[in-house]
Structure 1
Amino acid sequence: MLTTRLMLAGLGAAALTAGAALTAPQADAATPSATVAALATPAKPAKHYHFELITKSNASPYWLAVRDGADAAAKKFGVTVNFEAPASGLDLAGQIAMVNNAVTAGTDGIILAAQNPQALLKPVKSALAHRIPVVTVDSGLSPNIADCFLATSNVGAASALAKYTAEHLMNRKGQYAIVDFNHTASTGIARPKGFMLGMKSYSAIKRMGPIQYSQNSVSKGLRIATTMLTQYPHLDVIFGANDRAALGPAEAVQRAHAKVKVVGFDADLGEIAYVKSGIIQASILQSPYDMGYYAVVAMLDKLAGKTLPKRINTPYFLLTPKNLSSAKATAAIRQYAPNYKPGS
């Protein structure tokens, strides 16, 4: 498993962003961004460092993939990474306490996926004041006070997904709805924004109703989407803003035998099954393993006195039923599920 993951970390942006209609990551804001190629390859440090990896939750394959990447880098460079996360992505107080505890314990560095871009500012400021480097992954801070932020361009990727959806799945006309996972995380804000931005180019496409929030619950997403199917009988597409937010709508469409197409973000083996069946017609696959791996690399570069890019855009891949069997799709899926075998 570790060998497979290390091979995937070496694939880089060129291998993972060459999906259908997507060729390169885009920046979410005016802040200059780089790719992982901008990071130096660190030497094994003389000191044995201990880092804290604190993600939004421990309940998603996505965050476990981030952990796998960090663990691989830790093994390669001779450091220790302690993984800690709330059981729920809604436990903001718990995550804040974890960061504060890491500062009090005197960790050598914190790798953080922030549940809320403003609420985590105070504990991160405390870490920086104690000269503890902070690298954020996936979900950053506003403003970005971390030493480095590694993430998918969520606005850019969601916008590209919307354009693919409009052109290839909707024939430039029809109706869509959005199921988000929450409205406080930076990713929960950016992805619907990007998707709606991409759809603005198509005057004959209309969003139905307000954005609905599943709170990372598949069962709640199922109930929301079931209501949507009844409320909007001419609905063509539901966009799920993360893996949990896409699974509920996919199950609702399957149960109702509806012709509605689901598009989303991320993947687990359940989502891959829906792609195979054609219920999920497109999904943006990020590089969670790379985020964890290169966060450790960035941390070691920082501790070695190197200047880090403020923002690093990690690669993404647009998975569809048509490219599911390709080698690039397999590499992208294995960022989430290292033992995935095409055709299984």
Structure 2
Amino acid sequence: MKVNFKKLLSIFIMVMLVLSVFTACSTKSSQTPSQPSQESKTSQTSEQSKPIKIAVIVKALNSDYWKIVEAGANAAGKDLGVEVTVLGPSAETDVSGQLALIEDQITKKVSALAVAPSQPPSAIPFFEKAKAAGIPVVLIDTDANWDGKVSFVGTGNYNGGKLAGEFLAKELGTGGKVVIIRGAMGDPTHDERTNGAVDVLKEKGLKILDIQPANSERGMGMSVMENILQAHPDVQGVFATNDEMALGALRAIQAANKKIIVVGFDGSPDALKSIAAGELTASVAQSPYNIGYKGVEAAVKAVKGEPVEKRIDTGTYLITKDNVKEEQQKLNKILGK
């Protein structure tokens, strides 16, 4: 029997090709999508091990109030094991400076932002930019009409204003003459504080002689009060929507040698010192420390994908000569004094 070697060689090559294809298919089918490559695993591990960086951007860094917010934010960073950077312009009126800080932190790809916006409408486009970059945004101290926020952490400012109005109404009675010195026009925090006081004062039958802005500054609070005393020498009470303006107004009142009730807002160390000395009458206290602390806490939860309440109210209460020493001790501890 004659053997055809060429034919046998052809059959052998075909068999080897079939076996090769079968082996390749078997190997491919054994690699399922649920088994990422070593390179993918390394990338995921690297992403998870990156430090969480929270940028806290406040309205300014030139007052005790924002320093206490900063202390709370830094304490939260330490407790939660994350990196916290607190930034702010030199004055609350420097809106463009604050917006530049927000944009810079977005460029640096921080893990999350906690922002106290000076002018919320102006800040919303920057918040949208952060959201598009996958950076969660928590609003602190001042809210904004923006659906993209993770949460608002801050004071019930309207209720705080009502508290000031009730105190003035109790001290002066129906017919009492009051002026309001407020923060920058358009700042919703000061809008709410002013509106709360106005609603109560009108309800209680007091007369509001004037409402003037002093941009949250002590020096401007003094000059505005000097003008008010010229126009309304019969004023009996003042509500200033932050302590810096209240202390400025008090200085003008003292220079004019008048006795006028002055109520501030914030419960700052300088305000408490003035209350203890029998000068400033009262201050509506919020908890700037908790605003900073809980703001960072909410931001970290957002980064980790944990649930966060949409609104976290840190509350308000009144400080007078009756409870000022207790409050001073609490603040000194916070600021390490």
Q: Would the TM-score normalized by the shorter structure come out above 0.5?
A: yes
Choose between structure 1 and 2: higher helix proportion. Answer: 2
Which residue is equivalent to 1:57?
60
Could you tell me the TM-score, scaled by structure 1's length? 0.80
Aligned positions of 1:136-151 closer than 5 A? 136-143=139-146, 145-151=148-154
Higher relative contact order (CA 8 A, sep 6+): 1
Identity score, percent: 28
The structure-2 alpha-carbon separation of the partners of 1:246 and 1:335, relative to structure 1 and needing over 3 Å to count, comes to: farther
| 2:207 paired with 1:206 | yes
Matching residue's letter, 1:83: V
| 2:115 paired with 1:112 | yes
What is the SS of the residue equivalent to 1:119?
A: helix
Deviates more, 1:248-257 or 1:269-278: 269-278
Which residue is equivalent to 1:235?
235
Matching residue's letter, 1:300: V
The structure-2 alpha-carbon separation of the partners of 1:253 and 1:333, relative to structure 1 and needing over 3 Å to count, comes to: farther
Shift of 1:279: 2.9
Can you list the C-alpha shifts for 1:68-90, whole angstroms capped at 9, x where unaligned?
Answer: 11111111111111121111111
Q: Which has the larger radius of gyration?
A: 2
Matching residue's letter, 1:118: P
Which residue is equivalent to 1:127?
130
Unmatched tracts of structure 2, length 5 or more: 1-47
Q: How many equivalent residue pairs?
A: 290
Which residue is equivalent to 2:26?
none
Which residue is equivalent to 1:9?
none
Distance 2:335 2:256 in 1: 29
Can you list the C-alpha shifts for 1:34-60, whole angstroms capped at 9, x where unaligned?
Answer: xxxxxxxxxxx9542111111111111
2:54·2:300 contact (CA, 8 Å) conserved in 1?
A: no
Shift of 1:192: 0.7
Aligned positions of 1:144-223 closer than 5 A? 145-167=148-170, 169-203=171-205, 205-209=206-210, 211-223=211-223
Distance 2:197 2:333 in 1: 23
2:216·2:244 contact (CA, 8 Å) conserved in 1?
A: yes
| 2:99 paired with 1:99 | no
What is the SS of the residue equivalent to 1:291?
A: helix
Matching residue's letter, 2:209: M
Shift of 1:126: 0.8
Shift of 1:148: 0.7
Which residue is equivalent to 2:19?
none
Matching residue's letter, 1:64: K
Distance 2:110 2:219 in 1: 38
2:71·2:335 contact (CA, 8 Å) conserved in 1?
A: no
What is the SS of the residue equivalent to 1:315?
A: coil
| 2:303 paired with 1:307 | no
Shift of 1:187: 0.9
Could you tell me the TM-score, scaled by structure 2's length? 0.81
What is the SS of the residue equivalent to 1:248?
A: helix
The structure-2 alpha-carbon separation of the partners of 1:232 and 1:335, relative to structure 1 and needing over 3 Å to count, comes to: farther
Matching residue's letter, 2:301: D
What is the SS of the residue equivalent to 1:125?
A: helix
Shift of 1:232: 1.4
Unmatched tracts of structure 1, length 5 or more: 1-44, 340-344
Which residue is equivalent to 2:283?
283
Shift of 1:336: 6.9
The structure-2 alpha-carbon separation of the partners of 1:129 and 1:107, relative to structure 1 and needing over 3 Å to count, comes to: same
Shift of 1:332: 5.5
